[in-house]
Amino acid sequence: MNKRTRTHSNPLANLQEIHFEGFGNDNPIFVDVGAFKGEFMEKLAEKFPNHNFICFEIRTPIAEALKEKFKDKPNFRVFEGDAARNFKNILEPCLNEGASIEQIFVNFPDPWFKDRHKKRRFITTKFCNDLAQWFPAKTEIVFQTDQQFLFEETLEYLKETPYKGINQFEGSVHGIPTDWETAKLAKGEKIWRMKFTR
Ligand SMILES: C[S@@+](CC[C@H](N)C(=O)[O-])C[C@H]1O[C@@H](n2cnc3c(N)ncnc32)[C@H](O)[C@@H]1O
């Protein structure tokens, strides 16, 4: 398509609701929001072969590639669509099966840095307050970004939520850098990282 006529579509306009019955077992679960090429989850699965893995990816071609990549792995599921919109539909059945959700990774979400894009951000006060109504308190949410303002703003958002157990940390989670992290570190850029629970 000609650059001049290219339009930027909003992937969050995809209002599709997706459903999941659960893995059929109660193995602990890792969740990746915006899994991209899935390399972080793939390496995590080498370290934790008995866990289950849920990848959310909003962009169709990336989600299709992820589905192909993990199609022979019974402990992986890839869901195409907005993770925020589908979080409860997908994760509640797993909790009902007795599975623990060990960590949720929000690694380098699209920054949505313009003010008019604020509502597209994944971790917001509203999202966390809604989550606190049904989600286990002990599940850790890991947030990493190369955008300092987004990190600081997220700390502000959390002040208005029950998520008070906030730890800032250094170094790759489980010793595994994500694709985005590798690219940012190669350019010498700084990364801001936090884990939080209720
Ligand atoms: C900057 S990339 C980072 C990819 C990967 N997490 C990493 O650290 O290498 C952000 C990814 O999140 C996806 N994404 C953004 N918002 C999303 C949402 N609400 N639900 C699911 N995926 C989302 C994008 O399509 C993109 O693949």
Pocket test for ligand 1, best of 69, 77, 110 (most atoms within 8 A of CB): 110
Q: Are 104 and 60 in contact (CB under 8 A)?
A: no
CA torsion sign for 134, 137, 138, 141 is positive
Prediction pTM value = 0.92
pLDDT value at residue 112? 64
- Distance of CA 109 from the midpoint of ligand 1 (Å): 5
**Ordered DSSP codes for 149-189:** HHHHHHHHHHHTSS--EEEE--S-GGG---HHHHHHHHTT-
pLDDT value at residue 4? 46
Kindly name the residue from 26, 32, 72, 110 that is annotated as catalytic. 110
* Domain 20-197 -> CATH class: alpha beta
Q: What is the pLDDT of residues 27-57, one digit of tens each?
A: 999 999 999 999 999 999 999 999 999 999 9
- Distance of CA 43 from the midpoint of ligand 1 (Å): 17
Concerning whether 115 is annotated as a catalytic residue, the answer is no
Domain ranges of the chain: 20-197
Pocket of ligand 1 (CB under 6 A): 33-34, 36, 56-59, 62, 82-84, 107-110, 122, 178-181
Q: Are 111 and 154 in contact (CB under 8 A)?
A: no
Q: What is the pLDDT of residues 92-113, one digit of tens each?
A: 999 999 999 999 999 998 766 6
Per-residue confidence of the chain (198 residues) as pLDDT tens digits?
Answer: 444 444 455 666 666 778 899 999 999 999 999 999 999 999 999 999 999 999 999 999 999 999 999 999 999 999 998 899 899 999 999 999 999 999 999 999 876 666 767 777 889 999 999 999 999 999 999 999 999 999 999 999 999 999 999 999 999 999 999 999 999 999 999 999 999 999
